[in-house]
């Protein structure tokens, strides 16, 4: 059995996969960012200890946003998370007597989709993960694009509007400031305040999340339709730019925001330059966990490439 850990800005997803890479166990816990990295890692280790009592874990993989060290064993920094030179591989190795791997969370989702999802057979593909922020991963000629310090493929941080809002990365108007789940939630809050008698405002009384606008849209709410149309326009702007940069066979979208896949693709279609290239991840919101659990297999794949001189 393999363990995958997907650390997000809001929740930490943990899952166990079998030899067929099928999830046999899945759970999540809140990411207590305000409490600091030590608390976050403590929460993860306690959960892992409980899982270890039930399953025989042979490989562990961790996906997390942000910058890693060159050896991919520590998280140097992560924009929405309080990590600062945290040796996550060493800390998880205290719990498990097996190899522990670390990679970018979006790379994990990409690896899952490429190895066992709809990207199988692709020589070039891009994954866009939409959550608290926007992450990205790129396979170029069957190789993972890593960059100089394992920080390549940060697709949420190219600018689509230089006069846009400040971004934690230091720029203004980044893609993720307009097209992340956080951006959509902000747009919903604004719409609710401006339209207090609308269907979406009624739904918002129970709390607002990434699916609120989609639920209201499905109920025929014109306010929700306006919000989602504007959101789709921003998301498509980034996708179109990414298509021109990488010219991939497939651009796969993952993350909680893609739950209502039919509506999202419908809204995107009129703004996309190449709609047929864009698909929702076949693994859905589980792509990050499954990909993390597959990091050992991906490491073996790259080792074989190096031996072949690839």
Tens of pLDDT, residues 251-268 = 999 888 888 899 999 999
* Dihedral over Cα of 275, 263, 118, 299: its sign: positive
Taking the alpha carbons at both ends of the chain, their separation in whole angstroms is 30
Residue 37 in tokens:
């990295």
Higher-confidence position of 278 and 258: 278
Q: What is the mean pLDDT of residues 184-199?
A: 96
Closest CA to 131 of 9, 264, 273: 9
Distance in angstroms (rounded) separating the CA atoms of residues 77 and 55 = 31
Beta-bridge partners for 251: 126, 278
Query: Token match 């993952």: residue?
Result: 254
Task: Name the pairing type of β-strands 125-130 and 250-254.
Answer: parallel
* CA 105 to mean position of chain CA atoms: 6
Helix (H/G/I), strand (E/B), else coil: 286 = helix
Cα atoms in the Cβ-side hemisphere of radius 13 Å centred on 100: 18
Task: Name the pairing type of β-strands 2-7 and 59-64.
Answer: parallel
Q: Is the pLDDT of residue 170 over 90?
A: no
pLDDT for the residue numbered 10: 84
pLDDT for the residue numbered 301: 65
- Do residues 31 and 10 lie in contact, with contact meaning Cβ atoms separated by under 8 Å? yes
Task: Kindly give, in sequence order, each residue whose CB lies less than 8 Å from that of residue 220, ignoring residues fewer than 6 positions away.
Answer: 199
Q: Domain spans of the chain?
A: 2-110+287-308, 122-281
Distance in angstroms (rounded) separating the CA atoms of residues 152 and 144 = 9
Residue 260 in tokens:
């209502």
pLDDT for the residue numbered 308: 52
* β-sheet with 81-86: strand ranges across: 67-68, 75-78, 81-86
Element (H, E) at 291: helix 287-293
For 122-281, the fitting CATH number among 3.30.420.40, 3.90.1300.10, 3.30.70.260, 3.40.50.620 is 3.30.420.40
Q: Is the pLDDT of residue 87 over 70?
A: yes
What percentage of the chain reaches a pLDDT higher than 90?
64
Distance in angstroms (rounded) separating the CA atoms of residues 130 and 119 = 18
List, for residues 109-135, the tens digit of each pLDDT value. Answer: 899 999 999 899 899 999 998 988 898
Closest CA to 113 of 123, 127, 103: 127
Distance in angstroms (rounded) separating the CA atoms of residues 290 and 55 = 16
Please state the pTM of the whole predicted model.
0.84
Q: Is the pLDDT of residue 65 over 90?
A: no
Q: Is the pLDDT of residue 95 over 60?
A: yes
- Do residues 255 and 131 lie in contact, with contact meaning Cβ atoms separated by under 8 Å? yes
Percent of the chain as helix, strand, coil, to the nearest 5 = 45, 25, 35
Put residue 55 in one of left, alpha, beta given phi > 0 → left and psi -120 to 50 → alpha: beta
Distance in angstroms (rounded) separating the CA atoms of residues 150 and 145 = 8
Q: Is the pLDDT of residue 106 over 90?
A: no
What CATH number was assigned to the domain covering residues 2-110+287-308? 3.30.420.40
Banded model confidence at residue 104, pLDDT cuts 50, 70, 90: confident
Cα atoms in the Cβ-side hemisphere of radius 13 Å centred on 273: 9
- Do residues 192 and 184 lie in contact, with contact meaning Cβ atoms separated by under 8 Å? no
Banded model confidence at residue 238, pLDDT cuts 50, 70, 90: very high
Q: Do domains 2-110+287-308 and 122-281 have the same CATH topology?
A: yes
Beta-bridge partners for 6: 13, 63
């Amino acid at each position: 059995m393999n363990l995958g850990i997907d650390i997000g800005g809001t929740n930490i997803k943990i899952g166990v996969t079998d030899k067929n890479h099928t999830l046999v166990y899945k759970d999540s816990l809140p990411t207590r960012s305000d409490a600091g990295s030590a608390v976050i890692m403590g929460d993860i280790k306690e959960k892992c200890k409980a899982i270890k009592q039930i399953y025989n874990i042979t490989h562990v993989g961790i996906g997390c946003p942000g910058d890693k060290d060159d050896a991919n064993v520590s998280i140097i920094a992560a924009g929405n998370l309080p990590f600062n030179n945290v040796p996550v591989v060493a800390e998880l190795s205290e719990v498990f007597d097996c190899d522990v791997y670390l990679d970018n969370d979006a790379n994990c989702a990409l690896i899952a989709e490429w190895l066992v999802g709809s990207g199988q057979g692709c020589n070039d593909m891009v994954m866009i993960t939409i959550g608290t922020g926007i992450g990205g991963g790129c396979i170029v000629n069957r190789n993972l694009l890593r960059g100089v310090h394992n920080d390549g493929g940060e697709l949420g941080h190219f600018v689509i509007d230089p006069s846009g809002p400040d971004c934690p990365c230091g720029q203004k108007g980044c893609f993720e400031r307009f097209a992340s789940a956080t951006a959509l939630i902000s747009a919903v809050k604004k719409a609710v305040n401006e339209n207090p008698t609308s269907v979406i405002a009624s739904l918002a009384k129970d709390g607002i999340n990434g699916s609120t606008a989609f639920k209201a849209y499905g109920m025929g709410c014109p306010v929700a339709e306006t919000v989602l149309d504007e959101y789709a326009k921003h998301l498509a702007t980034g996708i179109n730019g990414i298509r021109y940069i990488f010219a991939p066979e497939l651009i796969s979208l993952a993350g909680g925001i893609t739950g209502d896949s039919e509506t999202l693709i419908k809204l995107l279609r009129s703004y996309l330059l190449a709609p047929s290239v864009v698909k929702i991840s076949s693994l859905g919101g589980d792509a990050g966990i499954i990909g993390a659990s597959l990091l050992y297999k991906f490491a073996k794949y790259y080792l074989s490439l190096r031996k072949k001189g690839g």
